[in-house]
Amino acid sequence: MNLDIAPNIDDILKKGADFKGIDRDEALLLMGLDLHARETYALMQTANRMSRDQFKGKAENHFHIGVNVAPCPLNCEFCSLAERAGIFTECVEFSEEKILAWARVAESQQADALNIMTTGNFSFQRVLEIGRLLKNAVSTPLVANTRDITHKEGELLLDAGYVGAYHSVRLGEGRDTPLNVDKRIHSIQVFRDVGLQWMNCVEPVGPEHSHEEIVDLMLLARRYGATYSGVMRRINFPGSPMEKHGMITELEMAKMVAVSRLVMGDVPGAHCTHEPHAASLLAGANLFFPEVGSSPRDGLSDTEKGRGKGIEYCRTLQKEMNWNPDPPSNCFTGPRSDSPPAGHAEFERN
Ligand code: SF4
């Protein structure tokens, strides 16, 4: 039996393993590998080794708190909070007491960050107030996950206590959502300009997305120096208009997590995947998102009672895969990339 891997793939993996990043054509070759090919396992082994070395065996848990439920008029096709999905008919904000209680539990369970998520139509003033509330109550770093913002609003987020912002150009942006790709990228530039760390995930991946559009978002993350940028698959909530496409499996996601790990090179402080699962912990991922409150993947208003996984579950999974969630985070030690973004040619290509 021939145990060698194809020389052209071997060359790409060696380049990736040197933390230099790989280019678009190389990433596309890796994306095209058969899921059960020897080369695919060599790819995942390479990504696994890179992350265990670069992140020193540290696993991260960034605790998602969805602070409000609303029938969101922006109607992204993949989101259970969309008005058109018909699941949530009233605007409800979780109380400050509830948000504080979640934050304190997360802090006591050694969460590495709190991701404060809102729907697209939520009050920006409330995002600031919640930031100030949490900043005075817990020491866990705060990350905002809200709408597109201006420079002035970026400075206000910093003043309110946020150190970073989760923001992605979603797959199908402008097609499955009403939002504009250029505006999304402008917000990412705003984060860099004002000194907020940019957190990203290539999401929400479904079987209908081309390798090209997936890889282009991986390259965008490296170009703009994301603090982390792994892969999240789309979860089809009951009745989702995306059900006709199906969903990718966790193993397919793990392979993409590995490709994005090689693309990111020495840029990130961690490498994420969602929802929490074991396979990607062998393919370069070390960051999970435990979840409470609202979630665009859930039909329940509090995902803690639904799909959401808690911190203890995530920590156990990480330890079982020989990752250690106890040391301090690698994500909040300064800017991840000094190189200025050079436009977004990967989108002009399509
Ligand atoms: S993804 Fe965000 S902006 Fe889009 S419908 Fe859901 S809550 Fe609204």
| Per-position pLDDT tens, the chain of length 350 | 777 999 999 999 999 999 999 999 999 999 999 999 999 999 999 999 999 999 999 999 999 999 999 999 999 999 999 999 999 999 999 999 999 999 999 999 999 999 999 999 999 999 999 999 999 999 999 999 999 999 999 999 999 999 999 999 999 999 999 999 999 999 999 999 999 999 999 999 999 999 999 999 999 999 999 999 999 999 999 999 999 999 999 999 999 999 999 999 999 999 999 999 999 999 999 999 999 999 999 999 999 999 999 999 999 999 999 999 999 999 997 555 555 454 555 454 43
What is the whole-number distance in angstroms between the Cα of residue 297 and the centre of ligand 1?
Answer: 11
Instruction: Give the tokens for residue 306.
Output: 């639904």
- The number of helices, as runs of H, and strands, as runs of E, in the chain is 11, 11
Q: For residue 76, report the distance from its CA to the centre of ligand 1, in Å.
A: 5
Can you give the residue ranges of every domain in the chain? 20-330
Q: How far is the CA of 54 from the centre of ligand 1 (A)?
A: 34
In 136-267, DSSP assigns E strands to 142-145, 162-166, 197-205, 228-233
Of ligand 1's listed atoms, the one at least distance from the Cα of 72 is: 8
Question: The tokens of 307 are what?
Answer: 């799909």
Atom of ligand 1 nearest to the CA of 80: 6
Judge contact between 265 and 21, C-beta under 8 A: yes
Q: Give the pair of three-digit tokens for residue 168.
A: 């992605």
Which residues does residue 144 pair with via DSSP β-bridges, in sequence order?
116, 165
Q: Identify the burial level of 139 via C-beta atoms within 10 angstroms of its C-beta, where 0-12 means exposed, 13-18 middle and 19 or more buried.
A: exposed
Q: State the pLDDT at residue 3.
A: 78
> Is the CB of 106 inside a 6 Å radius of any atom of ligand 1?
no
| Half-sphere exposure (Cβ direction) of 309: Cα atoms closer than 13 Å | 17
Residue 70 Cβ inside 6 Å of ligand 1? The answer reads no
The residue whose CA is least distant from atom 4 of ligand 1 is 76
Give the whole-angstrom CA distance, residue 174 versus residue 194.
26
Å from CA of 90 to ligand 1 middle: 15
- What is the number of other CB atoms lying within 10 angstroms of the CB of residue 319? 13
What is the pTM for the complete model shown? 0.95
CA distance 258 to 262: 7
Residue with tokens 């957190």: 199
Q: Residues 94, 303: contact at Cβ < 8 Å?
A: no
Ligand 1 center from residue 305 Cα (angstroms): 21
DSSP symbols for 262-325? HHHTT--SB-BEES--SGGGGTT--EE--EEE--TT-SSS-GGGTTPPPHHHHHHHHHHTT-B-
For residues 329 and 287, the answer to whether their CB atoms sit within 8 Å is no
CA atoms of 170 and 177, how far apart (whole Å): 8
pLDDT at 1: 73
Class of domain 20-330: alpha beta
Determine the pLDDT at residue 349: 41
- Give the containing element (helix H, strand E) for 92: strand 92-93
* CB atoms closer than 10 angstroms to residue 58: 23
Q: Which residues of 256-293 are buried (b: 16+ CB within 10 A; e: fewer)?
A: bbbbbbbbbbebbbbbbbbbbbebbbbbbbbbbbbbbb
pLDDT, position 350: 36
C-alpha to C-alpha distance for 335 and 163, rounded to whole angstroms: 11
Question: Ligand 1: which of 72, 146, 295 to mutate, judged by most atoms within 8 Å of the beta carbon?
Answer: 72
Q: What residues have CB less than 8 Å from 151, skipping those under 6 apart?
A: 190, 193, 194
Please name the residue that has the structure tokens 């695919």: 40
Does the beta carbon of 79 lie inside 6 Å of ligand 1?
A: yes
